[in-house]
Homo-oligomer: A and B are copies of this chain.
């Protein structure tokens, strides 16, 4: 008998799941890159400019020295006592590595940890949350994970029983959410962010969509909020967050707060507030609201995507439900220890007086101020293009400009059975090597078209991107203008 597993016989939830950030456009980009390597003159550009994914170090962002020193010492503690180590590593990285090793049972960085992560590291993280928010945090509420993605999957797995269970998700959204909901067989209940008010999140819209879902027989279980926003880059105002908390409390929804961009705020008039801080400041405690906050080492100024570190802080669930979350964590044993250590470091970086403090601050602020400049330059460039409008990137790592495509272009796309935004992005890639992700991968108001562009290419490359994009866009519009 021949092999039996065909596309017709695999799990239809897998078929349905989409993940645009590494979807068609990116696969095409990888193909072009290989072609260019083999034959440099194959395309009118020598380099693929990846603006598709929040992966800073792949584009040349340097890692923070202190963090890497500590990781190296924890990987190979045998050198801690050697005199040469003093010359190679900063004094406080040596001290921190020793402290972390003392927190690990048997100093065994190669052992599975507690299913939630090493207790001492969770203590550090809880203390850092407490310092950030001004409200208590419990290390037993921390579940350390391989980046934020597995944490999101874990909550979806817990909450979704069938397609009758719904999750309120922003549109546009980061496609991890739609992918995870599809894989777990639930229903994505969309709520639209208001592009006209800088991607505003209106509680009236939440209420409307919740009612509509209910009337369709959907039990809405949770609300996803991404703040700062991905792909939209907005930072929520505290008053807005209060209204969201109130809504979740009233409706008994789990508030799934994606707060992985908490360090990425670029405008002085906005500030990051965690949803837990907001809820606690309203007087709401454990018994009032289910609240899960996701954090990751992949974003911020550190951008350590490849280390796959992160955690979720889980509050407001009963002990019996918590036991099941613990069990889910246990089935995968634990998250990787390097990522766990790094998560503790990003939450507790060098402090005033530490030997590395000044160099750390210089590295951190260098990255964040450059990101702010890049965001502004790209935003301005988009807003100069015919038919394109782009909201301000207040935070995160993305712009999500809207493109008013000429009818001729949408028609040309339709003839190729391609979404118009994909049509634009594919042309852009083929002609310039620039990789944007079509808005359809994130969701958008029907009939509108967007794309997501990261602000991550190194600063010296931004002018070339702007030029190439501008030239391409002019050609495109000249070809298709109605």
Contact = CB atoms under 8 A, between A and B. Distances in A.
A384 to B, nearest CB: 31
Given A68-B76, A330-B22, A7 B324 contact: yes
Interface residues of A, number: 103
A14 B55 contact: no
Interface stretch (A111-119, A207-215, A269-277, A372-380): A111-119
A79 B249 CA distance: 52
Contact of A71 (B10, B13, B75, B161): B75
Contact of A306 (B12, B84, B112, B176): B112
A333 B321 contact: no
Nearest to A339: B336
Given A71-B76, A108-B57, A110-B63, A252 B336 contact: no
A420 B73 CA distance: 47
Contacts of A57: 106, 108-111
A106 B252 CA distance: 47
A221 interface: yes
How many identical subunits does the complex contain? Answer: 2
A239 to B, nearest CB: 22
Interface stretch (A142-150, A357-365, A407-415, A465-473): A142-150
Interface string A54-83: 011111100101001101110110110010
Contact of A72 (B13, B72, B147, B304): B72
Determine which residue in A22, A82, A150, A253 has the highest number of CB atoms from chain B within 10 A of its CB, and name it: A22
Interface of A: 1-7, 9-15, 17-19, 21-22, 53, 55-60, 63, 65, 68-69, 71-73, 75-76, 78-79, 82, 84-85, 87-89, 105-106, 108-113, 115, 146-147, 149-150, 153, 157-161, 176, 179-180, 183-184, 221, 249-254, 287-290, 298, 303-308, 316-318, 320-321, 324, 327-328, 330-339
A328 B14 contact: yes
Given A76-B71, A111-B57, A333-B149, A320 B7 contact: yes
Contact of A6 (B13, B160, B183, B318): B318
A76 B75 CA distance: 10
A153 B14 CA distance: 13
Contacts of A184: 11
Given A11-B160, A22-B330, A57-B109, 19 more contacts: A2-B287, A3-B318, A4-B252, A4-B253, A5-B159, A6-B321, A7-B320, A10-B321, A13-B157, A14-B157, A14-B158, A22-B115, A58-B112, A68-B76, A71-B76, A84-B85, A84-B88, A306-B337, A336-B336
A5 to B, nearest CB: 6
A57 B65 CA distance: 28
Given A112-B53, A327-B19, A147 B332 contact: yes
